[in-house]
């Protein structure tokens, strides 16, 4: 595991150095620093089961103009594999080189592990998100997020295997289980275990999020602020794993500083979570922090590079004293291009430091436009 962490950190250092070097291209045509399309990727925490909770995606702090609308569409493919070392060792011993899904004996072994070792989370899913924001006046905005999720898939399994082999890292147990599975086993006290042996249907619309935002001025040069509150009503099916079955609420504070070629964003907030009624799971309230750097290339003014760092608490942090209790780190690297029909974006998210409590890899394609 230590060798895998070393190689991943080295690769990420190279990627960051490459992006930084690109920001020092020779100067070309200038462009207004108030360019309205320079926004962070509207993505959130996709760690299982965070995507069923209220989510605040990173937003710019500047206010929309009166009557202006911002529409963004984001499609993400997420591969999530989180297992304890005890489960990984068990799979290595029991499989004898064969790959198959967990069976009843495997599940029973995981549920009887000591506190902190009994967890297994494996699955790939795709999620299509639509974010709609409309200004009410020069300060207030209303927003809605609606998402459609599809459980299952194996698009990223192969590339992840090849990447781990290429950098000399282990597979952390992936090579002992089948692709295209959605299985979750989490041992909990008092017999309230969480066991999901197959994907919960093909998917569907998950609970929407409703938001009210207010922009405000800051007494500092080029700094802007915005405060958002949000709620998530339980409208969709719990049985199909499209809803927690409870209301969530929360807030987000956004600060950003914009210069001629760079925008620095800070999004931090708190999610007051409801109870997962079907599994009798009551997650803790979850703080989070998003840091972003957006750069407009001097030589290519229609191109943006973006780096976003997401830090958050895992919903299962209080259940097991293990890697799930540690802070999550997710790094997103992406590019956006301004087209005549809107703004096209592509990005890659990768976990950092702790590889056992966040989604391994996520690919994102986005389109957005201001009206």
The answer on pLDDT for 121 being more than 80 is yes
Number of structural domains, the chain?
A: 1
Give the model confidence (pLDDT) of 188-212 as tens digits.
766 667 787 777 777 899 999 999 9
What CATH number is associated with residue 12?
2.40.160.40
Please confirm whether the linkage preceding 340 is cis (ω < 30° from 0): no
pTM: 0.81
308 band by pLDDT with thresholds 50, 70 and 90 = very high
Confidence of residue 298 (pLDDT cuts 50, 70, 90): confident
Q: Would you place residue 61 in the very low, low, confident or very high pLDDT band (cuts 50, 70, 90)?
A: confident
Q: What is the mean pLDDT of residues 100-117?
A: 82
User: What is the pLDDT of the chain when averaged over all its residues?
Assistant: 79
SS3 assignment for the chain: CHHHHHHHHHHHHHHHHHHHHHCCCCCCCCCCCCCCCCCCCCCCCCCCCHHHCCCCCCCCCCCCCCCCEEEEEEEEEEEEEEECHHHHHHHHHHHCCCCCCCCHHHHHHHHCCCCCCCEEEEEEEEEEEEEEEEECCCCEEEEEEEEEEEECCCCCHHHHHHHHHHCCCCCCCHHHCCCCCCEEEECCHHHCCEEECCCCCCEEECCCEEEEEEEEECCCCCEEEEEEEEEECCCCCCCCCCCCCCCEEEEEEEEEEECCCEEEEEEEEEEECCCECCCCECCCCEEEEEEEEEEECCCCCCEEEEEEEEEECCCCCCCCCCHHHCCEEEEEEEEEEEECCEEEEEEEEEECCCCCCCCCEEEEEEEEEEC
Percentage of residues in the chain having pLDDT higher than 90: 29
Domain encompassing residue 94 = 2-370
Per-residue pLDDT tens over the stretch 16-30: 544 444 444 333 333
Q: Per-residue pLDDT tens for 352-362?
A: 776 666 777 88
């Amino acid at each position: 595991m230590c060798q895998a962490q070393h190689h991943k950190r080295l690769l990420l250092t190279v990627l960051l150095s490459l992006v930084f070097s690109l920001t020092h291209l020779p100067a070309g045509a200038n462009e207004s620093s108030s360019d309205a399309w320079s926004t962070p990727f509207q993505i959130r925490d996709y760690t299982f089961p965070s995507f069923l909770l209220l989510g605040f995606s990173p937003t710019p702090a500047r206010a929309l103009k009166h009557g202006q609308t911002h529409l963004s569409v984001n499609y993400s493919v997420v591969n999530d594999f989180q297992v304890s070392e005890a489960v990984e060792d068990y799979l290595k011993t029991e499989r004898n080189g064969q790959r198959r899904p967990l069976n009843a004996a495997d599940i029973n072994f995981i549920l009887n592990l000591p506190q902190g070792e009994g967890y297994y989370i494996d699955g790939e899913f795709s999620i299509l998100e639509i974010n709609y924001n409309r200004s009410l006046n020069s300060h207030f905005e209303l927003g809605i997020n609606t998402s459609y999720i599809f459980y299952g898939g194996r698009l990223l399994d192969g590339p992840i295997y090849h990447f781990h082999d290429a950098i000399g890292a282990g597979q952390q147990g992936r090579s002992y289980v089948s692709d295209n599975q959605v299985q979750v086993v989490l041992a909990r006290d008092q017999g309230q275990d969480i066991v999901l042996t197959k994907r919960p249907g093909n998917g569907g619309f998950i609970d929407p999020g409703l938001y009210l935002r207010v922009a405000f001025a800051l007494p500092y040069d080029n700094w802007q602020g915005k405060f958002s509150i949000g709620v998530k009503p339980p409208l969709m099916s719990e049985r199909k794993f499209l809803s927690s079955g409870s209301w969530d609420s929360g807030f987000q504070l956004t600060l950003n500083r914009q210069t001629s070629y760079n925008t620095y964003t800070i999004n931090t907030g708190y999610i007051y979570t409801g109870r997962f009624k079907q599994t009798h799971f009551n997650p803790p309230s979850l703080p989070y922090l998003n840091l972003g750097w957006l750069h407009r290339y001097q030589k290519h003014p229609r191109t943006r590079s973006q780096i976003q760092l997401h830090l958050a608490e895992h919903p299962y942090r209080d259940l097991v004293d293990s890697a799930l209790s540690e802070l999550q780190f997710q790094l997103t690297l992406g590019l956006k291009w301004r087209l005549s029909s809107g703004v096209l974006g592509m990005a890659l998210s990768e976990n950092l430091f702790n590889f056992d409590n966040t989604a391994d890899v996520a690919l994102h394609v986005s389109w957005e436009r201001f009206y």
